[in-house]
Amino acid sequence: MPVSKRPLHFWISLVSLLGGLALFLYLVDRTGPGRILEQIEGFGWFFGLILLISGGRHLLRTLAWHYSLEPQYRRISLWGLFNIRLMGEAITDLTFAGPFLGEPMKALAASRHLPATVCLSSIAVENLIFSVSVVIFLLTGILALLFHAAIPEEMKLLNLLVTLVLIIPALLSYLAIRRRWKILTWTANLAGRFQPAWEDRFQLSARIGKVEERLYTFVGQNRRLFLFILTLELATHFCGVVEAWLILRATAGEASLLAALLIESAYRVVNVVFVFVPLRLGVDETGTALTLKALGPGGGVGVSLAIIRKIRILFWMAVGLAFLARHAVRETHTADPMN
């Protein structure tokens, strides 16, 4: 029987699946299956509602990705994009490589249906707009915190510093788009100078240039669509606020929209700063506990809230790994000429 040559993305899918599954089982064991079941049982139907809200966040970002594609390339179904998104998110959350592995995984899976350049540019557009929404949302949280009288002056000063840290890269990104700076292309060319034996560096640089050109063209020529996608991305953050409010209500017996807003803001900061920490283990609990301690309910409630969020992440991660396993099986059958 002839031995078929497996495509590269098959091996990436398989290694990602096996590595992700191993880390997933380790994290479940470290958290404690008994503790996970106890938390779920304590929440009852509330936990189903939390899963529904978090699923809605994934759906909103899937819609944002769908509309980040040019109209002629939107032939891939929303369900297909939803599958691919969960696959990529599972790899991002489970590995130290984070988005450097998860985002290419999405592009590889989507390239079965669309040209590779289109996949990469649409992912770049969606992530760019999501980053803008994160800045807007964090600034909203910072303004709410500044007007909260009970917050110490030191924390207010820290938040002003964070505001500057957010605004400066946002302005640089605006200038890059406005003046169409080819930053990624320049970076690829610079890397090629240090690797003279790298034969494909010019081809890679050209592909990156096409991706950047598509990104700038999309943002420059689709202002209304940009605002629509930005609205979808902002809605994902406010879904998180509702989720935090529900968890606070169930664990502490009381909740405020301000506390939920600040918890979600802290959660976003942790996700940005510690993106390479699998599942943000430890740092998420610490950030949430400190936020709630400053607001009054106490750090213990924050730890419980973070654990509940970890459980729903594990749920969607399991779904993503199941989709990834199915994708790997399909790639096996596609590559095997006997099937």
Residue among 187, 179, 181 nearest 204 (CA)? 187
The mean pLDDT value for 193-205 works out to 56
Residue among 197, 175, 201 nearest 189 (CA)? 201
For 41-65, give one letter per residue: b (16+ CB within 10 A) or e. eebeebbeebbeebbebbbbbbbbb
Q: Which residue has the higher pLDDT, 321 or 159?
A: 321
Q: Does residue 194 carry a pLDDT above 60?
A: no
The mean pLDDT value for 198-225 works out to 72
CA distance 279 to 23: 10
| CB distance 169 to 183 below 8 Å | no
In angstroms, how far is CA 26 from the centroid of its own chain?
Answer: 22
Highest-pLDDT range among 30-34, 188-192, 258-262: 258-262
The mean pLDDT value for 32-59 works out to 78
pLDDT of the residue at 40 = 60
Q: Does residue 233 carry a pLDDT above 90?
A: yes
Q: Does residue 162 carry a pLDDT above 70?
A: no
pLDDT of the residue at 294 = 66
Give percent of the chain with pLDDT exceeding 90.
17
CA distance 64 to 127: 9
The mean pLDDT value for 87-109 works out to 84
Kindly list the domain boundaries of the chain, sorted by start residue. 8-335
pLDDT tens figures, 46-68: 788 999 999 999 999 999 999 99
pLDDT of the residue at 331 = 67
